[in-house]
Amino acid sequence: MRSRWALLAILAVSCNRQPTEFKQIQQQRSGDYTVTLLNETGTLKLHSDHLRVEIRNASTNELANVSNVQIQANMVMPGMGPMFGTISTPKQAAPGQYDVDADFGMAGQWNFAVTFDPNGRAQFALRAQ
């Protein structure tokens, strides 16, 4: 009987979770689209970070249902090859909203490239802290 109450309590708490509120890290224009990178703090976190990419129609500001969204991150290291961040495959949260988990192994300047169809590309220069 106790285990049932414990299970019900866990379910009640998890059902009452507030939706994650995302804050803008940076925004770029890509042709007819605006691409925004967001997370919970508004700053890129060292090591584990949950990011959201929003792609909107620049003229209407409505979320745009694009396809083939890909994200890459790297850090240029003088005298060495680039260091690549680990980014999960984007998961569509809603049309125009894509969630990824990212791991940046070192603090400093990271270069992001977000590509999508039709012919979209946005580049971000961000500092992981």
Mind listing the pLDDT tens digit for each residue in 54-76? 999 999 999 999 999 999 999 99
42 vs 13, which has greater pLDDT?
42
Which structural domain, as residue segments, surrounds residue 55? 20-128
Q: What is the mean pLDDT of residues 8-37?
A: 76
Residue 14: inside a domain: no
For residue 70, give the CATH number of its domain.
Answer: 2.60.40.10
Number of domains observed in the structure of the chain: 1
Distances from the Cα of 61 to the Cα of 36, 57, 67, 69, 122, angstroms: 11, 5, 18, 19, 17
